[in-house]
Structure formats: structure tokens, C-alpha cells
Amino acid sequence: MKELTCIRCPMGCVMTIEKAGEDFVVTGNTCPRGKEYAISEMTNPVRSFSVSVRVSGGERGAVAVRVDRAVNKKYILPIAEFARHTVISAPVTEGQIIAKNVCGSGADLIAIAAVNGA
């Protein structure tokens, strides 16, 4: 049995989930979205997140980037590490793809904001 807090809305229901044969038994959820979240956390936990990458020759030295779709949690650290070692050249446009299929996650890393040249 695993205890987890639902993050699908601000109520933050505390739930438990337990495997029962091929299915799961979820308790503590106030609505069906909680059950769906709990099962996804057990079978394929995904997250959307943002990090920053360094920019050379720009008015700012870094730009925030995000994955364009939720990725399995196992890709968060490799993508963060990739971003830490990445330097891109200005100018950067909002929505610019920084890396396609970053770290094999299936998601592209895209710039959240623009950075003009210095």
C-alpha cells in the first residue's frame, strides 16, 4: 500500500492505493480525478517542469525552458543535467526548440521567453 497526496486540485486529498490483482484500490479521493492520478503515479508517473539554460551573447545570461509535454519522472534529473551543461547563442525566440526529444524522453525542450542579443 502506498500513501500519496493528489495534486490535481488545491484540496490535496490524501489517498492510499493498493494493487488488487490487475486493478488498483484507491481510498481517500474525493473525486474520480484522484483515482486516475493515483493509478498514473503507480504505473507511469509524469511531470511537466521548467529549468533554465545559459545564453551566450544575450542581454541576459540565461533563459527559462520547459518540456513541451509531461514526461516520466525518471527523465527529470537527466533533463536538468542536460540543461545545466547547455549553452545557446542569442537571440532566442519564445517557443524556440532548444532540444528535440531531449534525453530520449519524447518531449522537446522549448524556450519560455525571448532573449535579444546584447
11-19, 58-66, 72-80, 86-94 -> range binding ligand SF4 (CB under 6 A) = 11-19
C-alpha 23: how far from chain center: 26
CB burial string 73-103: b at 16+ within 10 A, e below: eebbeebeebbeebebebebeeebebbeebb
**Placement of cell 525552458 in the chain:** 65
Among positions 25-64, residues that touch ligand SF4 (CB under 6 A) are 29-31, 33-34
Query: Residue 9, interface with ligand SF4 (CB under 6 A)?
Result: yes
Nearer to ligand SF4, 10 or 21 (CB): 10
Which of 2, 3, 12, 19: binder of ligand SF4 (CB under 6 A)?
A: 12
CB of 91 to ligand SF4, least distance (A): 41
56 membership: H or E segment, kind and range: strand 50-56
Per-position DSSP letters for 30-53, written without gaps between them: SSHHHHHHHHHHHH--EE--EEEE
Nearer to ligand SF4, 26 or 111 (CB): 26
Query: Residue 8, interface with ligand SF4 (CB under 6 A)?
Result: yes
User: Which residue's CB comes closest to ligand SF4?
Assistant: 34
Which residues in this chain contact ligand SF4 in the complex, by CB under 6 A?
6, 8-9, 11-13, 29-31, 33-34
